[in-house]
Amino acid sequence: MTKPLSLQVVVELGQFEQKKQQSWSHENETNIQDPIIVWWSLLTGEPGRLSQCGADTCFFTMKRNYQNHEMTKAFLFYGTDFPINSLPLPRQAQHEWALFHEESPKNNYKLFHEPTITLFNYTATFSRNSHMPLTTQYLESIEALKSQQYLTPLSEKNRLRDKLAPLVYVQSDCDPPSDRDSYIRELMKYIQVDSYGECLHNKDLPAHLRDPTTMDNDGFHKILAQYKFILAFENAVCDDYITEKFWRPLKLGVVPVYYGSSNIADWLPSNRSAILVRNFSHPKDLAEYIMRLDRDDRDYEAFLEWKWKGTISNDDLLTAMRERKWGVQDITQDNYIDAFECMVCNHVWQNIRRKQKMLPPVLWRAEANHLSCPAPEAFTFSPPLAGWDALRDLWVPSFQQSRREATALRSLVDRNQNFTTEMFWKMVFKH
């Protein structure tokens, strides 16, 4: 069954539809002179469209009957809907494959292994190593990061501590591969945490904010902004997999207590702007540190100094945002789907021109680090906490199974023939 698109993709697709260019009529199908690029995953719903990518023009379509058209040069795939039983095989020499995958590994673990990711020529993933990195996909702009719209004075936060915990947690995706609920359940033994979501729920949001779709609601943001610390735990642990859980506290003027990407320090707005869970050997140690900051206004304010001053000292973050060729929720810029399409279109044209000049093509290939995550691991507290069952019984076996699936898929694709779901599973069990 096809998984639903992420909310972020839905938003960007809405902009994509607003910015569609020249539509294509049926009678023109046999007269296409520009490279054809086929969305093999039904992401855009576009039957046919000529798009201008700088000086280059390509024809984008979701119609699979273009598979063997002489002008077809590339196939685009959306990772969450990667159709293993209906791939465009046999793959001709001029056919390139491109992967767009911005979501958690738990949506399609098999893509996160070298045999599968290296099937593609081009990648747009959350990894900074991909051809079009989507690492900052949840950050609208540097201005949004520096905005003081929701910044609550420390005196007000201290006053509200009579009715609010120092920490807030809001999650309704319980017991994911990161095992975050196990950690926070243990943390709750040593410090008060207000948990508004379904996971470890102990406090109710106002009735009008209980729908998950209100997570970007102004009223919800105002509630979170009253807290001193937000538990920002990703649902999976991968380098550069950074979601709104990290950026939202920073935008609201709250200190994130972060667990997820091991290289998160590369993306901090300043050296002292987040508390990193990995720096503490046990939740008790983390709780004691947060309680000390809660009592010490000067030390706490040091974590928000960058916000008060509106100064970001991380040159790498500034450069990444400045050089990003797409925007987030900004109709004045290409969204990341447009940019992905044009990246492929431009590279296809690059090799067409090289061929015209009798030059060898530039070979684009995905590498293992374009989409790679370690196996899920449970937190090892004593005694083991509930939630470990989900990791042990679901996520660890799923990851191990996905490794076999990746190897089987690669074996079948390398045969360059169509194959059935039954053939795929036979190959999986063989491995």
Give the domain ranges of the chain. 5-136+332-395, 142-319
Q: CB within 8 A of 389, min separation 6: which ones?
A: none
Tokens 């707005």 locate to 269
Sheet with strand 96-101: strands edge to edge: 22-23, 49-53, 56-61, 36-39, 72-78, 96-101, 122-125
Residue 201 confidence (pLDDT) above 70 = yes
CB-based burial, 388-420: b 16+ in 10 Å, e otherwise: bebbeeebbebbeebbbbbbbbbbbbeeeeebe
What's the whole-number mean pLDDT along residues 385-391? Answer: 59
Helix (H) or strand (E) holding 390: helix 388-390
Does 215 have pLDDT greater than 90? no
The three state secondary structure string of 8-69 is HHHHHHHHHHHCCCEECCHHHHHHCCCCEEEECCCCCCCCCEEEEECCEEEEEECCHHHCCC
The three-class DSSP label of residue 1 is: coil
d(C-alpha 407, C-alpha 203), whole Å: 45
Of the candidates 108, 136, 141, 106, the one whose C-alpha atom is nearest the C-alpha of residue 124 is: 136
User: Looking at residue 9, what is its pLDDT?
Assistant: 58
- What pLDDT is stored for residue 211 in this prediction? 75
Give the C-alpha separation, 43 to 310, whole Å.
38
> What integer is the mean pLDDT of 347-356?
96
Residue located via tokens 């920490």: 167
Over residues 269-288, mean pLDDT: 97
Q: Is the pLDDT of residue 10 over 90?
A: no
What is the CATH code for 142-319? 3.40.50.11660
**pLDDT at residue 22 is higher than 50:** no
**Tens digits of residue pLDDT in 231-259:** 999 999 999 999 999 999 999 999 999 99
What pLDDT is recorded for position 6?
Answer: 57
Reported as a pLDDT band with limits 50, 70 and 90, residue 107 is confident
Q: In this prediction, what percent of the chain has a pLDDT beyond 90?
A: 77
d(CA 140, CA 327): 7
d(CA 341, CA 98): 9
Query: What is the token pair recorded at 87?
Result: 């791939």
The predicted model gives 34-48 an average pLDDT of 87
d(C-alpha 230, C-alpha 210), whole Å: 18
**Mean local confidence (pLDDT), 145-153:** 96
Amino acid letter, 401: Q
pLDDT at 18: 47
Mean pLDDT of 2-14: 51
| Three-state DSSP class for residue 379 | coil
> How high is the mean pLDDT of the chain?
90
Residue 390 corresponds to which amino acid?
A: A
What digits encode the pLDDT tens for the residues 63-86? 999 999 999 999 999 998 898 889
Query: What pLDDT, on the 0 to 100 scale, is given for residue 84?
Result: 87
Residue 21 has pLDDT above 50, yes or no: no
Burial class (CB in 10 A: 0-12, 13-18, 19+), 381: middle
Eight-class DSSP state of 211: S
